[in-house]
Structure 1
Amino acid sequence: MQFTLKDYQVDAVGEVLANLRDAKDDFHSRGRRVAFSLTATTGAGKTVMAAAVLEALFEGNDDFGFEADQSVTVLWFTDDPALNEQTRFRLFEAAGDRLPYSRFQVIDNSFNQEKLEAGKVYFLNSQKLAKGSLLVKGEPENGVTPFEQMIARPDLRLYTMWDTLRNTIEDEDRTLIVILDEAHRGMKKPSKADASEKQTIVKRLVNGVDGVAPVPIVWGISATVERFNVAMAEAENRTTYAPIIVDPSRVQASGLLKDDIRIDFPRKAGAFDAVLLARATRKMVESTLLWREYAEEQGSTADPVIPLMILQVPNTPSREMLLKAVTTIKDEWPGLPNDAIAHVFGDRATLEFGEIRIPYIRPEQVQDNAGVRVLFAKDAISTGWDCPRAEMLISFRPARDETHITQLLGRMVRSPLARRIPGNDRLNSVECLLPFFDKNTVRSVAEVLLGKKSEGEDGSGDTGGGSGRRVLIAPADMKANAAVPDSVWECLEEIPSQSLPKKAAKPIKRLTALAHALTVDKLQADAGKDAHRDLFAVLDGLMARHRVKVDEAVKAILTVEGETIVAGMRSNGLDATSFTEVADDRVIEEAFRAAGRVFTLDVARKYADHLVGPDDADSGDDGLREAHLRIAALALVDGVKESLEDEAKKLANGWLIRHRVAIKDLDHSRQAVYNDLVSQATEPQRLDILRPRVRTEETADIDGEALPTRLLHLLSDSDGMFPVGSLNAWETKVVDTELARNGVIAWYRNPSRATQDALAVAYVDGKGKWRQMCPDFIFFTQASDGSVKASIVDPHGTHLADAVSKLRGLADFAKAFGSEFHRIEAVAQMKDKQLRVLDLTKESVRSAIKGATDAEALYLSEVATDY
């Protein structure tokens, strides 16, 4: 893989591979045809996950315990021919050099094969299976002789596409897997008005037609797969597996998607299109500058993000509208090159307005053509198109077209750098300006984007609603508060946060990846050699300590014992005799590959070289064979794997502590690499908090009423004020109470997401899964000696199902890091409106929390006090 999979992607790929393994067994052993689905919100990395699955299918993957399958043929099916070549390239790009480009083939009208080849991925769109298409012309019909069928086929084609599919499915040595991209399409039930409506093409493919059997395995992928799931459940003789659902909140937490959608609109009815377009253009100029400044700050000026503005127009825009738009943009953006504006209209003709020419560009080319800064579009790019650098949408569509707008926004939510920009809400957002929308329609759009109502049957506008993204109306950017002293900022950067543990962490791979990163960043020369030296020392010790067990395991590998049973025809009895055979080199190498899954293949191979040693180079293959044999035997000894992994954990954690300060001086992209490595552990790890730069907050409600504000927040407007309209009444009371305390000089509204500028606390939920919570507030107190200490104060509702679990996580955090804080307290409001507080720095309180089953009872008990 060219990309490192995110946690949720690893889980999804593992589940898909397990389903495919079971489905193949179900089909070949039991004759069952199988279907299952993968639901992933737009931007979750469907292509990367699919590439990982394909790579494992064809080449195997030790991490997933998946053996390569030489019998598999994959047919990737879409309803859009324009996407085939794009998807083909993106899959190849994601898979890297393990799968050559020749393995990915788009089926065109000249395709003419008896069967689909094993080990390849074919791309086919529904139009090519439509009646009259060259690929299926001359398909079998009742009463037509084979010779007449042949004559009817274009160019005397030997095989129609249906013939090819039939032959592939009927080959017992092949396993055909059909991947339905955007699987909800083509699954609509016939209308009651036309009960005779024929099956859609995709249903004919899946269910079989005209002598072609149903396909053995169907894997549907979509943001909304309900219709697919229902269709598969109702299909005859098809087994359906439980759907694989990617949690949208995990996708949002990964940083792959933009966090905020900012909406601007006129508060009064009127023709404000030119006014808001001018505003949008100024924002684009500012955004371009902000991205350039960020690139310079990070030392990556060679490849800055070039943001794109999309101007969405009605399906039949007037010439006057288009010319007015171009003129307005050019007036506000004097330096905009003449060739920086393009369109993706369906007619593909160049638009000409005197000296102004607007050429057509293919939608899939927009992302990579940084010269295009403004893109005119209708609704053709609402589906099947992603452009991470698109961060501004201004729509001239009428107010009733809210669905088209939400669909398009759903396609432009990818983060341009595939990661969150730490502490900068402005660069983690997409802007939407709606000149023809009133506040009620804007509210409706916001509800769709937040997942509070459906956006339409096809689901193509999915933006991950309910995943933690904010929709901001009348947003304003808060920046560093000049009234906050440097000592407070320094205190913030020193307090601890926690990583989210990985349930399937691999300590040895983590160590080798860390060694590579340290070497790349020139923080530790020859870190890889250092890691191998220490691991080999542990393995040498284990080899000596378990010599007897290793010798026994060697004999077990080398000796194959069996039994021969002879049926006596005269005696009517069974005679059994034992036999023993000596294993050959293939058995040893198979055992060595199994050891590679225990120690990692890289460590196993290098340790074999270490055992042979330079002094034994003359021993050649015999020496290496013996080394492979003893390593394979060592891997079979109980406790060896755990001992080596413990050493890898200690070594990696020691290096991370040693280089912690140096890592903080790296650019954000490299810091993200180390944060990911820190998180690759089965227990929470300490993380540093990065200083926030820009915080975006709503300053008014949808009716234009200004929201309340407070002083002394780390980030503020130019008057030193921070909006608190998102807080409820008792959260606001907590803020006011804390700000009134002696010595409090600043406060911080901790982000609700576990970003790099947030204090996060890991906890185990009621189902035993690791989660993260972000306490609401951090207050900063200055002591008489001038030192500054932080306090966590978390208004903590007792009615939530995970209230006790979160308290336990906060208690464990206080036990580990309490000495670094002034106070760590959880506050809750009781039914009589009284606020009660738990002081988590006290051992007695933590003990009570550990045994608690009811949060409200805990706050009402004697371990809590009035706030």
Structure 2
Amino acid sequence: MKYTLKDYQAEAVDKVLTNLEKARSTYRRDGDEVAFSLTAATGAGKTVMAAASIEALFYGSDTFEFDPDPGAVVIWFSDSPALNEQSRTRLMQASEKLISGDLITIKPPFAVPELEAGKVYFLNTQRLSKTSLLTRGYVPTADEIIDHVAAPDDLAWNIWETIGNTIANEEKTVYLVLDEAHRGFDTKTSGDRTTIVQRLVNGEGGQPPIPIVMGISATIDRFAQAMKEAQAGDRRQLLEQVAVHPWQVQESGLVKDTVMLDIPDEAGNFDSVLVRRAARKLQESTDRWHAYSADQGLADRVEPLLVLQVPNTPDAADVGVALDTISDELGGLPSSAIRHVLGEHKPHEFGRWEIEHIEPQRVQDTPHVRVLIAKDGISTGWDCPRAEVLVSFRPANHHDHITQLLGRMVRSPLARRVPGDERLNAVDCILPFFDRTTAGKVVRYMTGQIAEMPGGTGRKVLLDPRELMPNPHVPESVWKKWDTLPTLSVPVKGARPVKRLVSLAQALSSDRLRPGALAEATSHLHDVMDAFVAEYPDRVERERKEVWDVHGQTLMGTTGRTGVSYRQFTERADARALRAAFEDAKRAFGADVAQSYVDHLAGPDDEDADDDGLTAAYVTASALAYIPELRAKIDAVSERVAKDWFAEYDSAIRELNDDRQSLYFEIWTLATVPQPGRLRRPRTRLEDWKVVDANEQVAMAALVGRHLMSDADGLFPISSLGGWEYAVVKAELERDDCVGWYRNPPRAAVDALGVTYRDAFGNWRSLFPDFLFFHEIDGEVKASIVDPHGHHLDDALVKLRGLAEFAREYGHHFHRIDAISNGSNGPALRALDLKNPTIQNAILDGPGMVVDFYDGEFSIEYNPGAAG
């Protein structure tokens, strides 16, 4: 893959490949069709995950220890040719091995007896409809049994015959990927798509069902229900769903953290005023992105886009006035900078403007388009990360359309979070026809307070956003203490020390920080392997013999006699068997190290090189992969060298641009245990000066001082804090020695202090303590972690243990680490001093419920004013 998969993406791909392997075995062994789904929130990178899965399916994968299916044929089906083309482009962009010739769009004339293995074929509803040139207009009914479907004129095979012939070939396995899978099983509507999808999946009228089906969608329920019904009817087995949770997408930085809503403060016609504001926000966003692109040395700078959402029946004159307003505010705008994606693919007149149509999938890569006119159809299958501002002419009762479209606008332009700059991690939504009550509903809906929305968890939605900067009233001594605080990263599942070292070496070489680092790294590991061969020659020779020997068993039965006798046999491995053994070495040591060790053993590559010597080198490398003690030594050396290099180049890495620093951070997390890092200072922060109460009414936020990020007056809003959070902040700020505090962001970021813990299933997760407080004690600034967390919550115990483990390891960096909750005896808050070794041991080693700790001898009344 050209892209480094996010941790959750790699985990999902691993599960997809496990399902594909199960499905292939089930189909080949029992003849049963199989289905499963991949569901993930908008912006999760479903196509990237699919690309990694298909690449492994065709070519195998050392990373996922997956063997290729040499007979794999993939049919990618969607509702739209444009969406198919967008998916095809993304697959090619993401994969190192899938080239244009492997990704075939089926269109007339197309007449082959079978589809070719190792190819992805793109089909859509129109190509399989009864009027398509590929089908000659004949689609049998569900109860019609036929042996042959007439081919289109001048073609030897129609597309249904081609698919059927491919399925019938025992050397091939056909996989169907249903993009936006839910749309093929909508029982409320009828049409070609429903008929065609169900025919592909279930088989009808002599057409065999496709053996293996993977549905991809953000909302997979209808597809899953249809597959369950097929399973109940003994038509198809259903495997476990592969699901990516919204919080994982939010933490990744692939989608934006903040949505800012602008609405009128009073009744009246303010659409032109807010449209002008939208244009001004577009210009501000453009200036900011251009400055950031220049500062970071980005080859392609981000060109923000304004989306103008109109009603289903727009008033052309009103839209024209809006375009006039936008153009005036921007100092002039040519019509070529405006396009529409309305259903009619022809020029539209809006006032004095004549606006051309553009295909939605082309908008992202057409940077001179700065304004896009759209309805609601754009909310499905469209992707434009540079869309930064939305102004909607939708009436207030259409808040569902707003939230749907925002799902397409929250993708990060750089596919990563901009470190420490919340303004560049936000999207603006201007709603001229909304009032406070309706806007409150949108806020509560998008943040998951009313009903769950994919991707909503963890995102801030702001009504009156203010951009905050480092507080001018907070002394520099606080920031210097901040710079020393540790933060932990979640290790990547299945990470390997060798891969981490090789990735680090490649990055250091690429950035010219350590030229030749890869050769140096592999040389370190070759020395370890050579030393092991020299020290344990007999052990190595035994493993070499195992590589050469292929063991088998002969079963013999004799006529007239009962029972079967067995005889063992051994054959010498051929080239194919040796290649398979070397694949194990590549998995154990990584492809770079395994191949370079073969070259090291074989010597210079010249015409006089001994073929037997080269074969012997491959056998030795393969043999070493089967020795656990050596693999442990290789891992240990890889860990040590990587640790030394990270320490040596820490300062130099911090001087690189954000994109390169992000790469090194990903390499840093390629570890088997949590890795400590240092917090980076936030650049900007967005907070809401208004708050939505339980009655969905909007009110002004309460303000306090001393937060590390503030407005020009040193103020920070706290009305959004919960009851315990509010009480903690109030109590801590009453201390005379408090010189600063920080509301820790609830997601992975360079300016968020993270603590790792294992969840109930043993997986590594991150928690982000609510608050950091800074106190000046005896002339020295000290930091404290204070984390109020309900003891009744499902994750209370695992998170408390994670915080206690963090305190045991890193407590010397902090003055206090307090876990706050109430006990069962009343509402008064109690504190657990997690720096206390006795309390640490009780939490980490003892059984019991969290409430017992707050009820028992270990807790004290929470009274920060008494702390010294």
The residue identity in structure 1 corresponding to 2:373 is F
CA contact (8 A) 1:260 1:469 kept: yes
Q: Secondary structure at the match of 1:132?
A: coil
Q: Structure 1, residues 503-553: CA drift from partner, whole Å, max 9, x if none?
A: 311110110000111122222232112211211121122222332111111
The residue identity in structure 1 corresponding to 2:447 is L
Match of 1:436 in 2: 433
Q: Secondary structure at the match of 2:716?
A: strand
Match of 1:391 in 2: 388
Which of 204, 218, 223 is residue 223 of structure 1 equivalent to?
218
TM-score by structure 1 length?
A: 0.93
The residue identity in structure 1 corresponding to 2:328 is D
User: What CA distance in whole angstroms lies between the structure 2 residues aligned with 1:252 and 1:294?
Assistant: 22
Residues 865 and 361 of structure 1: is their aligned pair in 2 closer, same or farther, counting only changes over 3 Å?
Answer: same
CA contact (8 A) 2:57 2:67 kept: yes
Kindly indicate whether residue 229 of structure 2 is the aligned counterpart of residue 234 of structure 1.
yes
Deviation at residue 827 of structure 1 after TM alignment? 2.0
Deviation at residue 690 of structure 1 after TM alignment? 1.3
Task: Describe how 1:445-460 pairs up with structure 2 within 5 A.
Answer: 445-453=442-450
Match of 2:813 in 1: 820
The residue identity in structure 1 corresponding to 2:456 is G
Q: Which ranges in structure 2 are unaligned for 5 or more consecutive residues?
A: 863-868
Which of 646, 652, 656 is residue 662 of structure 1 equivalent to?
652
Q: Secondary structure at the match of 1:766?
A: coil
Residues 589 and 739 of structure 1: is their aligned pair in 2 closer, same or farther, counting only changes over 3 Å?
Answer: same
Task: Describe how 1:594-609 pairs up with structure 2 within 5 A.
Answer: 594-609=584-599
Q: Structure 1, residues 197-247: CA drift from partner, whole Å, max 9, x if none?
A: 996221122111221112111110000111101111112311111111112
Kindly indicate whether residue 730 of structure 2 is the aligned counterpart of residue 747 of structure 1.
no
Deviation at residue 777 of structure 1 after TM alignment? 1.1
The residue identity in structure 1 corresponding to 2:224 is N
The residue identity in structure 2 corresponding to 1:137 is R
The residue identity in structure 2 corresponding to 1:449 is M
Kindly indicate whether residue 100 of structure 2 is the aligned counterpart of residue 109 of structure 1.
no
The residue identity in structure 1 corresponding to 2:254 is L
Deviation at residue 354 of structure 1 after TM alignment? 7.7
Kindly indicate whether residue 250 of structure 2 is the aligned counterpart of residue 259 of structure 1.
no
Task: Describe how 1:643-682 pairs up with structure 2 within 5 A.
Answer: 643-682=633-672
Which of 517, 531, 536 is residue 546 of structure 1 equivalent to?
536
Residues 328 and 618 of structure 1: is their aligned pair in 2 closer, same or farther, counting only changes over 3 Å?
Answer: same
User: What CA distance in whole angstroms lies between the structure 2 residues aligned with 1:469 and 1:198?
Assistant: 35
Deviation at residue 148 of structure 1 after TM alignment? 12
Residues 148 and 800 of structure 1: is their aligned pair in 2 closer, same or farther, counting only changes over 3 Å?
Answer: closer
Residues 292 and 767 of structure 1: is their aligned pair in 2 closer, same or farther, counting only changes over 3 Å?
Answer: same
Kindly indicate whether residue 99 of structure 2 is the aligned counterpart of residue 100 of structure 1.
yes
CA contact (8 A) 1:379 1:408 kept: yes
CA contact (8 A) 2:317 2:350 kept: no
Q: Structure 1, residues 373-414: CA drift from partner, whole Å, max 9, x if none?
A: 111111231111010010111100122222222221111111
Match of 1:41 in 2: 41
CA contact (8 A) 1:493 1:688 kept: yes
What is the total number of aligned residue pairs between the two structures? 852
Match of 1:74 in 2: 74
User: What CA distance in whole angstroms lies between the structure 1 residues aligned with 2:137 and 2:392?
Assistant: 47
Q: Structure 1, residues 137-176: CA drift from partner, whole Å, max 9, x if none?
A: 25376999999975xx643332222222222222222211
Q: Secondary structure at the match of 1:497?
A: strand
Deviation at residue 444 of structure 1 after TM alignment? 3.0
Deviation at residue 312 of structure 1 after TM alignment? 0.4
Task: Describe how 1:235-634 pairs up with structure 2 within 5 A.
Answer: 235=230, 236=233, 237-300=235-298, 302-334=299-331, 336-352=333-349, 356-453=353-450, 463-466=454-457, 468-562=458-552, 564=554, 579-613=569-603, 620-634=610-624
Match of 1:159 in 2: 157
Residues 132 and 483 of structure 1: is their aligned pair in 2 closer, same or farther, counting only changes over 3 Å?
Answer: same
Deviation at residue 598 of structure 1 after TM alignment? 0.9
CA contact (8 A) 2:129 2:137 kept: no
Kindly indicate whether residue 696 of structure 2 is the aligned counterpart of residue 705 of structure 1.
no
User: What CA distance in whole angstroms lies between the structure 2 residues aligned with 1:728 and 1:562?
Assistant: 68
CA contact (8 A) 2:179 2:217 kept: yes
Q: Secondary structure at the match of 1:798?
A: coil
CA contact (8 A) 2:403 2:446 kept: yes
User: What CA distance in whole angstroms lies between the structure 2 residues aligned with 1:359 and 1:679?
Assistant: 47
User: What CA distance in whole angstroms lies between the structure 1 residues aligned with 2:92 and 2:622?
Assistant: 34
CA contact (8 A) 1:190 1:197 kept: no
User: What CA distance in whole angstroms lies between the structure 2 residues aligned with 1:633 and 1:24?
Assistant: 30
Q: Secondary structure at the match of 2:817?
A: strand
The residue identity in structure 1 corresponding to 2:170 is E
User: What CA distance in whole angstroms lies between the structure 2 residues aligned with 1:270 and 1:862?
Assistant: 61
The residue identity in structure 2 corresponding to 1:664 is R
User: What CA distance in whole angstroms lies between the structure 2 residues aligned with 1:198 and 1:7?
Assistant: 35
CA contact (8 A) 2:183 2:194 kept: no
Q: Structure 1, residues 691-750: CA drift from partner, whole Å, max 9, x if none?
A: 112111111124442111111111111221100112123322222222222332111111
Kindly indicate whether residue 629 of structure 2 is the aligned counterpart of residue 636 of structure 1.
no
Deviation at residue 90 of structure 1 after TM alignment? 1.5
CA contact (8 A) 2:484 2:678 kept: yes
User: What CA distance in whole angstroms lies between the structure 2 residues aligned with 1:144 and 1:548?
Assistant: 69
User: What CA distance in whole angstroms lies between the structure 2 residues aligned with 1:835 and 1:185?
Assistant: 50
Q: Secondary structure at the match of 1:536?
A: helix
The residue identity in structure 1 corresponding to 2:713 is D
Match of 1:459 in 2: none
Residues 733 and 576 of structure 1: is their aligned pair in 2 closer, same or farther, counting only changes over 3 Å?
Answer: closer
Residues 704 and 28 of structure 1: is their aligned pair in 2 closer, same or farther, counting only changes over 3 Å?
Answer: closer
Deviation at residue 643 of structure 1 after TM alignment? 1.8
Deviation at residue 335 of structure 1 after TM alignment? 5.1
CA contact (8 A) 2:320 2:352 kept: no
Q: Which ranges in structure 1 are unaligned for 5 or more consecutive residues?
A: 456-461
Deviation at residue 570 of structure 1 after TM alignment? 8.5
Instruction: Report the identity percentage.
Output: 47
Q: Secondary structure at the match of 2:76?
A: strand
CA contact (8 A) 1:35 1:239 kept: yes
Match of 1:841 in 2: 835
Deviation at residue 666 of structure 1 after TM alignment? 1.8
Q: Structure 1, residues 550-576: CA drift from partner, whole Å, max 9, x if none?
A: 111122222345555665559889777
User: What CA distance in whole angstroms lies between the structure 1 residues aligned with 2:243 and 2:801?
Assistant: 28
Match of 2:866 in 1: none
User: What CA distance in whole angstroms lies between the structure 2 residues aligned with 1:849 and 1:276?
Assistant: 54
CA contact (8 A) 1:392 1:431 kept: yes
Q: Structure 1, residues 56-81: CA drift from partner, whole Å, max 9, x if none?
A: 11111122222221211111111112
User: What CA distance in whole angstroms lies between the structure 1 residues aligned with 2:351 and 2:267?
Assistant: 33
Deviation at residue 619 of structure 1 after TM alignment? 5.1
Residues 838 and 200 of structure 1: is their aligned pair in 2 closer, same or farther, counting only changes over 3 Å?
Answer: same
Match of 1:764 in 2: 758
Residues 408 and 503 of structure 1: is their aligned pair in 2 closer, same or farther, counting only changes over 3 Å?
Answer: same
Which of 827, 832, 854 is residue 826 of structure 2 equivalent to?
832
Match of 2:19 in 1: 19
CA contact (8 A) 1:72 1:118 kept: yes
User: What CA distance in whole angstroms lies between the structure 1 residues aligned with 2:853 and 2:147?
Assistant: 84
Q: Secondary structure at the match of 2:700?
A: coil
Residues 156 and 521 of structure 1: is their aligned pair in 2 closer, same or farther, counting only changes over 3 Å?
Answer: closer
Deviation at residue 615 of structure 1 after TM alignment? 11
CA contact (8 A) 1:730 1:829 kept: no
